[in-house]
Amino acid sequence: MINIVDKRFRFFWVALGLVIFSAVALGAFGLKPGIELSSGSMLTVNFAQTVNEDELNQELETLGYGGAIIQQTGTGGFLIRTAELSTQAKNDLENSLTNRFGAVTEAEFNSVSPMVASETARNAGIAIAVACVGILLYVTWAFRKMPHPFRYGVCALLALGHDALLALGIFAALGSVLGWEINLMFITGILAVLGYSINNTVVVFDRIRENLQRGISPDLAVVVNTSLSETLTRSLNTSLTTLFVVLALLLFVGASIQNFAVVLLIGVIAGTFSSICVAPNLIVAWERREAKRLFRRDEPAVDSSQG
């Protein structure tokens, strides 16, 4: 039998390391909010001729859009992000670009006012908070017949926090290196990850419940470890099939759905790890009141049960 519970302190350290990395990345780089969350305009244009990024930058500066951020798209077009543009201002900009670089086609234009952006950001925050509380309550309720059902809710939520924080941390790093922004698709992805990861955790908890009821061992650590090894194949297989489709989305749909697919990619991998190695082990650690032991040198073994 694989022994996951015995190695719980190693897993906690890994999880803690990832959380610290994410917190540091978030603190150091911060998240770059896209226009949906911070307002502004995003114009995607394609040029008939080949246009150099520097030339475009210069031209935008001459036109008074010095603060514009430009980014080349995969197909030779450009994303131009500016402060909120009126229809008139956008038309003027496109005309000026046509005069300078030849025919311009507008592929996409998105403009969000500060009012709409702050509503979106606020409601996205509420949604994530409500999702967390909802999951906590649901897991507590679903395991209400177990001893300490609240622990299951809290441990599931901690595992979720780990997954979400990791996605945020990696996006903060990506934002700093590649200029990635977080948008509504990112928020949708984060919520989907919450749902996905908790789904995995609940399957493991469910098996713990079943094995506790069957009374396979008086020691919770043994019960949890048995349950983990019984559900391990399922957890990995389901994650694998989900990874297949997420990779397909990432590779074939590309830029527009990139945020979403990458969040899911991180979330599925992190969620698999946390639902196997973090959440169930936290239950055991809580039962044994081991919080302080994390920092001791000797690693406690399963059989050193406190009874």
Partner 1 sequence: MTRKNLAPFITIMIILILAILGVVPLDKGVLGGKGIHLGLDLQGGTHLVYQADFSDTEPGSEGEAIQGAIAVIERRVNALGVSEPVIQKLGNDRITVELAGISEIENAKNLIGQTALLEFGELAKEGETPTWTNELGDWVPATAEVDGEVLELSSRYFQENTYVSQDDYGQIVLVFQWNDTGTKMFEQITERVLNQPLGIFLSGEALRGDEGLPIAPYIRSVISDRGIIEGLSLNEATELTRLLNAGRIPVPLTPIYEQTVSPMLGADFVNMSLKAGIIGLILVLVFMMVYYRFPGALASGALMFYAFVVLAIFKAIPVTLNLAGIGGFVLSIGMAVDANVLIFERLKEELRLGRTLGAAIEVGFSRAWPAIRDSNITTFIVCGILYWLGSSIIASGPVTSFAATLAIGVAVSMFSAVVVTRTFLRVFAGSRLARRASLYNVYSGKSHD
Minimum Å distance from CB 293 to partner 1?
A: 27
3-state class of 111 per DSSP? strand
Phi, psi of 195 (to 5 degrees): -65, -40
d(CA 51, CA 6): 60
Minimum Å distance from CB 284 to partner 1?
A: 18
CB 284 within 8 A of CB 9: no
Q: Does 113 bind partner 1 (CB under 8 A)?
A: yes
CA dihedral 289, 292, 295, 301 (to 10 degrees): -20
Q: Which is nearer to partner 1, 13 or 244 (CB)?
A: 244
Q: Of these, 48, 103, 240, 301, which contacts partner 1 (CB under 8 A)?
A: 240
Within its chain, how far is the Cα of 106 from the centroid?
31
Q: Does 248 bind partner 1 (CB under 8 A)?
A: yes
Q: Does 211 bind partner 1 (CB under 8 A)?
A: no
User: Could you tell me whether strands 104-112 and 78-82 are parallel, antiparallel, or unpaired per DSSP bridges?
Assistant: unpaired
Minimum Å distance from CB 70 to partner 1?
A: 18
Q: Of these, 49, 50, 52, 241, which contacts partner 1 (CB under 8 A)?
A: 241
Q: Does 207 bind partner 1 (CB under 8 A)?
A: yes
Q: Which is nearer to partner 1, 110 or 176 (CB)?
A: 110
Minimum Å distance from CB 257 to partner 1?
A: 6
Contact pattern from residue 168 through residue 187 relative to partner 1, giving x for each residue in contact according to CB under 8 A and a dash for the rest: ----------------xx-x
Q: Of these, 93, 168, 261, 266, which contacts partner 1 (CB under 8 A)?
A: 261
Q: Position 25: which residue type?
A: A
Q: Which is nearer to partner 1, 25 or 136 (CB)?
A: 136
Minimum Å distance from CB 201 to partner 1?
A: 8
Q: Does 155 bind partner 1 (CB under 8 A)?
A: no
Q: Does 96 bind partner 1 (CB under 8 A)?
A: no
Could you say which residues in the range 268-307 bind partner 1, by CB under 8 A? Answer: none
Q: Over the Cα atoms of the chain, what is R_g?
A: 24
Q: Does 110 bind partner 1 (CB under 8 A)?
A: yes
d(CA 129, CA 259): 21
User: Could you tell me whether strands 78-82 and 69-72 are parallel, antiparallel, or unpaired per DSSP bridges?
Assistant: antiparallel
Q: Does 195 bind partner 1 (CB under 8 A)?
A: yes
Tally Cβ neighbours within 10 Å of residue 92.
Answer: 13
7-38: buried (b, 16+ CB within 10 Å) or exposed (e) per residue? ebbebbeebeebbeebeebbeebebbbbbbbb
Q: Which residue has the tokens 């009374």?
A: 215
Q: Which is nearer to partner 1, 59 or 106 (CB)?
A: 106
Q: Of these, 243, 286, 287, 300, which contacts partner 1 (CB under 8 A)?
A: 243
Q: Which residues have a Cβ under 8 Å from the Cβ of 167 and sit 6 or more positions away?
A: 189, 190, 193, 263, 266, 267, 270
Q: Of these, 9, 12, 260, 273, which contacts partner 1 (CB under 8 A)?
A: 260
Q: Of these, 24, 107, 216, 294, which contacts partner 1 (CB under 8 A)?
A: 107
Could you say which residues in the range 15-74 bind partner 1, by CB under 8 A? Answer: 36, 44
